[in-house]
């Protein structure tokens, strides 16, 4: 317990004044007293759990109030501590975050077949809480990550239930927030409980292959470093990223269970000083080893909607073995790990009469989907419709297509040109007659792929066809089409 406190203080000490440090110490004591004599089912003292959650939050640099909320997140629900007491002992913001976390923790997610209307309504409220303050969801993710690590102590029924919720809701949500490290950990922790046979099969197929690749890449590092330095480039760091188990399973499914076709079990990651050096390093890598055709992706020039940036290339390296290499700056690397949490901004006002120190979060523009959730709330009045929209449009795998002007449009996997058109503007969708993908004519039910350039041809005054309802992917699209078709005989 003392070690956890020490680590939290180390993460925050530079950013806190004495008054704030005293408040944090008060939170430690408050949490410890609230959870005194409580034990988790694993047998350990309960206080260790909120301390670990607070430690994760402190690593994300979300601010003092978020760390305190992490410490106190179970006090209102498990210890019956009134929110009024939390508010008076700490502040309004801590009480607000604890209240939001308490509401989220009360949500009892089940599979779609078992959901009741009331549970769907609760789930809807959870998503709306995200749109109101992201810290509630980020702390919730830290909470679930720690809970998943002690899942072995629960009954098999609870293990599966928690793991299903983690795979269906929380891990995809972490990905959408750009928090890939937490997302991958959540998936791997849930994998053996939801898909035990597939988990065993994946481990068997992998065998010693991943360790062998790590050893191989370890020998590649000095060669890469030397070549970069010969070209007056000094990498900040060269490290490895091991593909997590659940991701390997999903990739195996796409590659007909042939492990030899999975090239990125282990990837080399090169951290450079700035963007210019990233592209220069890419040139050096391609001089050293021939690139695999069609395997280069520039996420620096075209970042993913969750903010992810990096250069990805796959090369024929030493002994002809295929190796994936990622090149990025230190800032990009931090954002790849922590996602939206890395964008947390502090704005301080002068500490004079009438002023208070303010700490506010400004989501980057590429997180526009947060505002879109609010629009969905207005559109889908029925809880079931809203939940279905979120499951398809929000949590499924995403594709990223481009307008002719180069704007990135974020769509669910399987989306069609009609879905794309309605995301541009309702009138564009209503009047669409043709679609061009990479300047070639395609059918309106064509399944779009990431990286494609999409252009919609319209005819003024045209109305949507009822046949579109049979192939469009997004519930939001269907709702807009149905709105236009109301009062019109469907054929």
Task: Give the angle subtended at the CA of 366 by the CAs of 362 and 368, to the nearest 5°.
Answer: 80
Task: Give the angle subtended at the CA of 265 by the CAs of 259 and 266, to the nearest 5°.
Answer: 150
424 neighbors 455 (Cβ within 8 angstroms): no
Distance CA 414, CA 412 (A): 6
Nearest to 473 by CA among 375, 389, 384: 389
Distance CA 312, CA 303 (A): 12
Which residue in the list 25, 29, 74, 77 is annotated as catalytic?
77
User: Long-range contacts for 387-392 (Cβ within 8 Å, ≥24 apart)?
Assistant: 387/115, 387/120, 387/123, 387/124, 388/475, 389/474, 389/475, 389/476, 390/127, 391/112, 392/473, 392/474, 392/475
Question: Which H or E element spans position 400?
Answer: strand 398-402
Question: Which H or E element spans position 398?
Answer: strand 398-402
CA 4 to chain centre: 26
State yes or no: is 17 an active-site residue.
no
Distance CA 119, CA 58 (A): 32
State yes or no: is 77 an active-site residue.
yes
Distance CA 395, CA 387 (A): 10
Phi/psi at 392 (5° precision)? -90, -50
Which residue in the list 32, 78, 89, 413 is annotated as catalytic?
78
- Point out the residues that are catalytic: 77-78
């Amino acid at each position: 317990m003392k070690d956890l406190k020490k680590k939290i203080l180390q993460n925050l000490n530079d950013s806190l004044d004495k008054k704030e440090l005293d408040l944090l110490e008060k939170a430690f004591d408050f949490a410890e007293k609230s959870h005194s004599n409580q034990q988790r089912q694993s047998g350990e003292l309960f206080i260790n759990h909120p301390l670990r959650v607070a430690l994760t939050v402190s690593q994300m640099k979300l601010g003092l109030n978020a760390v305190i909320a992490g410490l106190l997140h179970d006090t209102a629900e498990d210890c019956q501590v009134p929110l009024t007491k939390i508010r008076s002992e700490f502040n309004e913001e801590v009480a607000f975050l604890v209240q939001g976390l308490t509401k989220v923790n009360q949500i009892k997610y089940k599979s779609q077949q078992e959901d009741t209307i009331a549970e769907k309504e609760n789930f809807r409220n959870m998503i709306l809480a995200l749109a109101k303050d992201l810290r509630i969801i980020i702390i919730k993710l830290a909470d679930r990550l720690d809970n998943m690590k002690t899942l072995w102590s629960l009954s098999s029924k609870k293990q599966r239930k928690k793991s299903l919720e983690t795979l269906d809701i929380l891990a995809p949500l972490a990905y959408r927030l750009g928090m890939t490290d937490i997302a991958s950990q959540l998936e791997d922790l849930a994998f053996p409980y939801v898909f035990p046979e597939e988990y065993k099969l994946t481990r068997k197929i992998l065998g010693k292959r991943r360790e062998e690749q790590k050893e191989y890449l370890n020998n590649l590092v000095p060669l890469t470093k030397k070549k970069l330095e010969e070209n007056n480039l000094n990498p900040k760091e060269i490290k490895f990223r091991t593909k997590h188990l659940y991701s390997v399973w999903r990739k195996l499914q796409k590659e007909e269970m042939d492990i030899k076709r999975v090239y990125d079990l282990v990837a080399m990651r090169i951290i450079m000083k700035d963007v210019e050096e990233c592209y220069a390093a890419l040139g050096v890598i391609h001089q050293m080893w021939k690139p695999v055709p069609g395997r280069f992706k520039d996420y620096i020039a075209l970042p993913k909607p969750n903010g992810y940036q990096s250069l990805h290339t796959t090369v024929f390296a030493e002994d002809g073995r295929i190796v994936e290499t990622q090149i990025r700056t230190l800032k990009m690397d931090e954002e790849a790990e922590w996602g939206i949490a890395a964008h947390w901004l502090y704005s301080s006002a002068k500490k004079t009469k009438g002023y208070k120190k303010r700490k506010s979060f400004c989501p980057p523009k590429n997180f526009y989907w947060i505002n879109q959730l609010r629009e969905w709330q207005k559109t889908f009045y029925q809880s079931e419709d809203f939940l279905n929209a979120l499951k398809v449009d929000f949590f499924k795998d995403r594709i990223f297509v481009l307008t002719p002007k180069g704007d990135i449009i974020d769509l669910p996997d399987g989306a069609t040109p009609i879905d794309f058109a309605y995301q541009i503007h309702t009138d564009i969708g209503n009047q669409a007659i043709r679609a061009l993908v990479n300047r070639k004519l395609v059918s309106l039910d064509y399944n779009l792929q990431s990286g494609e350039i999409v252009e919609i041809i319209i005819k003024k005054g045209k109305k949507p066809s009822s046949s579109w309802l049979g192939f469009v992917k997004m519930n939001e699209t269907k709702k807009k089409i149905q709105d236009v078709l109301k009062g019109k005989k469907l054929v």
